[in-house]
A and B are shown apart, each in its own frame.
Chain A
Amino acid sequence: MDRSGGFHSSTLAEFKTAAIFAALVGAEYGILGVLQILVGLDVVNPNSLINDPIGGIMLVVVALVYISGVRPLLEEDQEGYAYLAVGAILGGILFVLQIVILGTNALGWWLQLEDWREWIILSDLTPALLLFIPVLLVSISMHRERRGEKTETDNEKGGID
């Protein structure tokens, strides 16, 4: 792999920032994922509105992807960014899924269908939804920043995200 190639030659500082970002997001997803599993199994807070232990496992997987990216990023390997990207893709899928579910539930509530009369928005504000918002914000700002410096290289990235 040609690291000095035309795609994007990240500086040392950029790799460090990315590694810290990956570690932080990974930890966030991991902690909330484990928490969601425990809640789902009624170990903690059994009266929670959110009861989806397997959804918690999914968050833990996202955490694992992010955390796997920390090492290559610290070793200044471009490949590390792929872990960030896949983590964001998976987090994004879970986020969009939750948004869609929230939207359809809201539709049911609005139509006052039988099973939706008691729906409240809080029960759909799951960790999967909340966790992705900071990732999204940081990604957008990073994207903007890079676009300012290296327009050409970001065209390629934009095609995938």
Chain B
Amino acid sequence: MKISVALIGNPNVGKSVVFNNLTGLKQHTGNWPGKTVEMKEGYFSYKDQEFEVIDLPGVYSLSARSEDEQVARNYLVDNRPDVVVDVLNASQLERNLYLALLLIELQVNLVIVLNMYDVVESRGDMIDIDRLSERLGVPIVVTIATKKEGMDELKEAILRAVPNHVAAKLAGAANTTGKQHMPGEEPKRNHLHYHPKLHHHGQYERLRPPVIKYSNKIEKRLKQIVMILDDESELMERFPPRWLALRILERDPDILSLIKNQELKDTLLEVTL
């Protein structure tokens, strides 16, 4: 089985150059059913491990307001790739980190690429990479994709970011079924970071709590929402709970339209900032 990797980033950050560097000629363009958005798919192998890379459209956020954002968000939510690589333009960190924060909210296995690092250096700017990585709780790789610099480091980081249960399965240790997490097994208070959806590697996924937390006021509301949703197994199995709570707090129309029970919806909408 291949490790699935999704490549995402703002437009004009050199994402497709990174993609081409990773996959070389092993790629093809696919039109997604019913969509005008094109996504490229490619393969590479590193340390005897096969990787399958998907190049998601360039987006600034995941609000699902444009078709590009919708495609990217649905892919991440529904397919839960093993590793998500967010390519950032290192010379425009402030704007590019916004998407990174949204991906952290999604609790995916994230690797951040600071691309176009040569621009940062030529401007004489200084970025404390280790500290940034620590603050975000995400491994960071520095690259200059146009010069093919940092690509091996990126592959290594992707490999390291592969979650343990996937790695174990790939290593052939199939006898882990006994220790598999089952829905409802965890105590309620941990629900915020527990994603019971059947992962495509045949196991349930345990989400790591994100390092970045919002203000107490917001986090309290999120817990409140998750408590209310506790019995909605269909929703809770489909989306990471904290992310779901954030979207409800944000009044995301797509997510709200999935809640059919009007009474429940009203209760949820009472939770406001």
Q: Which of B123-139 contact A (CB under 8 A)?
A: 124
Q: Which A residues are CB-close (under 8 A) to B124?
A: 6
A155–B118 CA distance with the chains assembled, in angstroms: 13
Q: Does B122 have its Cβ within 8 Å of any Cβ on chain A?
A: yes
Binary A-proximity of B158-192 (CB < 8 A = 1, otherwise 0): 00000000000000000000000000000000000
Closest to B124 in A: A6
CB distance from A8 to the nearest CB of B (A): 14
A125–B128 CA distance with the chains assembled, in angstroms: 56
CB distance from A41 to the nearest CB of B (A): 44
A155–B121 CA distance with the chains assembled, in angstroms: 13
Interface size bucket, B side? under 10
CB distance from A42 to the nearest CB of B (A): 48
Q: Which of B99-127 contact A (CB under 8 A)?
A: 122, 124
A6–B124 CA distance with the chains assembled, in angstroms: 10
Binary B-proximity of A121-152 (CB < 8 A = 1, otherwise 0): 00000000000000000000000000000000
Q: Does A156 have its Cβ within 8 Å of any Cβ on chain B?
A: yes
Q: Which A residues are CB-close (under 8 A) to B122?
A: 155-156
A155–B124 CA distance with the chains assembled, in angstroms: 13
CB distance from B147 to the nearest CB of A (A): 14
Binary B-proximity of A79-104 (CB < 8 A = 1, otherwise 0): 00000000000000000000000000
Closest to A5 in B: B124
CB distance from B180 to the nearest CB of A (A): 55
Binary B-proximity of A1-41 (CB < 8 A = 1, otherwise 0): 00000100000000000000000000000000000000000
Q: Which B residues are CB-close (under 8 A) to A155?
A: 122
A155–B123 CA distance with the chains assembled, in angstroms: 12
Q: Which B residues are CB-close (under 8 A) to A6?
A: 124
Q: Which B residues are CB-close (under 8 A) to A156?
A: 122
CB distance from B146 to the nearest CB of A (A): 13
CB distance from B192 to the nearest CB of A (A): 46
CB distance from A39 to the nearest CB of B (A): 44
CB distance from B149 to the nearest CB of A (A): 17
Closest to A155 in B: B122
Closest to A159 in B: B122
Closest to A6 in B: B124
Closest to A156 in B: B122
CB distance from B116 to the nearest CB of A (A): 13
CB distance from B125 to the nearest CB of A (A): 12
A156–B122 CA distance with the chains assembled, in angstroms: 8
CB distance from B91 to the nearest CB of A (A): 13
CB distance from A86 to the nearest CB of B (A): 21
Closest to B122 in A: A156
A126–B124 CA distance with the chains assembled, in angstroms: 44
A69–B122 CA distance with the chains assembled, in angstroms: 27
CB distance from B60 to the nearest CB of A (A): 27
CB distance from A98 to the nearest CB of B (A): 32
Q: Which of B167-219 contact A (CB under 8 A)?
A: none
CB distance from A150 to the nearest CB of B (A): 15
CB distance from B237 to the nearest CB of A (A): 52
A104–B36 CA distance with the chains assembled, in angstroms: 40
A156–B124 CA distance with the chains assembled, in angstroms: 12
CB distance from B134 to the nearest CB of A (A): 30
Query: What are 3 residue pairs bridging A and B, where the CB atoms are less than 8 Å apart in the complex?
Result: A6-B124, A155-B122, A156-B122
B contacts, CB < 8 Å to A: 122, 124
A contacts, CB < 8 Å to B: 6, 155-156
Top 3 nearest A-B pairs by Cβ distance? Answer: A6-B124, A156-B122, A155-B122
